[in-house]
Chains A and B, each alone.
Chain A
Amino acid sequence: EIVMTQSPATLSVSPGERATLSCRASQSVSSNLAWYQQKPGQAPRLLIYGASTRATGIPARFSGSGSGTEFTLTISSLQSEDFAVYYCQQYNNWPKTFGQGTKVEIK
């Protein structure tokens, strides 16, 4: 199975600053990568699919890039509601697999 590795595990950022989250696949997943946001006590929410396409209703400050094995989620200017855990997920191969998550916390 494809192993997804996210870094860093925790990212401390001040409101208004830029956050850059990384996700690496153990083998190529082409552009078949999604990003999710999860807040405490809530279900994950789809942010990005196809590595770079924002889901419906997702603000433009969220952007995704990359292909193959290296991917990035960028939040251009962190808002208070963006502090959460972010997961990447590959859907190129079965089984579908997730990274272990990056927690974005207030600095």
Chain B
Amino acid sequence: QVQLVQSGAEVKKPGASVKVSCKASGYTFTSYYMHWVRQAPGQGLEWMGIINPSGGSTSYAQKFQGRVTMTRDTSTSTVYMELSSLRSEDTAVYYCARDAVEYPAGWFDPWGQGTLVTVSS
């Protein structure tokens, strides 16, 4: 079955960077775009960006431009999201979510289990 398994929780200091991984299985990795979405504690969902696992092209939400980098490793079917210059407001659960169909339609299924990133001094 299609599965996205994310890396474990992280605690970072303000100003540091964090890199979260998302390992895909159960489908052809390069055929589906992948998105990253975050959710601050008790808050709603915020789309961060998208990566094409085939060619590696990316598109980021303007809010995160310059601070986020999404990459992929086709040999391990893994996508990565790195967020730099962390501040307390970046404390959130970060999800990877696959595009539901084989083109960037923009609705997400399935989702990874989430990775809690805590930014605290």
Binding site for B on A (CB under 8 A): 32, 34, 36, 43-46, 49, 55, 87, 89, 91, 94-101
B61 at the interface (CB under 8 A from A): yes
Q: Return the 3 tightest CB-CB contacts between A and B, nearest first.
A: A91-B106, A43-B111, A46-B109
CB distance from B106 to the nearest CB of A (A): 3
With a cutoff of 8 Å between Cβ atoms, the chain A residues found around residue B108 in the complex are: 34, 36, 44, 46, 89
A96 touches B35 (CB 8 A): yes
Main secondary structure of the interface of A (DSSP, over half): loop
Stretch binding the partner chain, chosen from B12-20, B39-47, B82-90: B39-47
B61 touches A95 (CB 8 A): yes
Instruction: List, sorted by A's number, 27 A–B pairs whose CB atoms are closer than 8 Å.
Output: A32-B106, A34-B108, A36-B108, A43-B95, A43-B113, A44-B45, A44-B95, A44-B97, A45-B109, A46-B100, A46-B107, A46-B108, A49-B107, A55-B100, A55-B109, A87-B44, A91-B105, A91-B107, A95-B62, A96-B106, A98-B44, A98-B45, A98-B47, A99-B44, A100-B44, A101-B44, A101-B45
With a cutoff of 8 Å between Cβ atoms, the chain B residues found around residue A55 in the complex are: 100, 109
B112 touches A34 (CB 8 A): no
B59 at the interface (CB under 8 A from A): yes
* Bound Cα distance from A94 to B113, whole angstroms: 24
With a cutoff of 8 Å between Cβ atoms, the chain B residues found around residue A101 in the complex are: 44-45
A43 touches B114 (CB 8 A): yes
CB distance from B76 to the nearest CB of A (A): 21
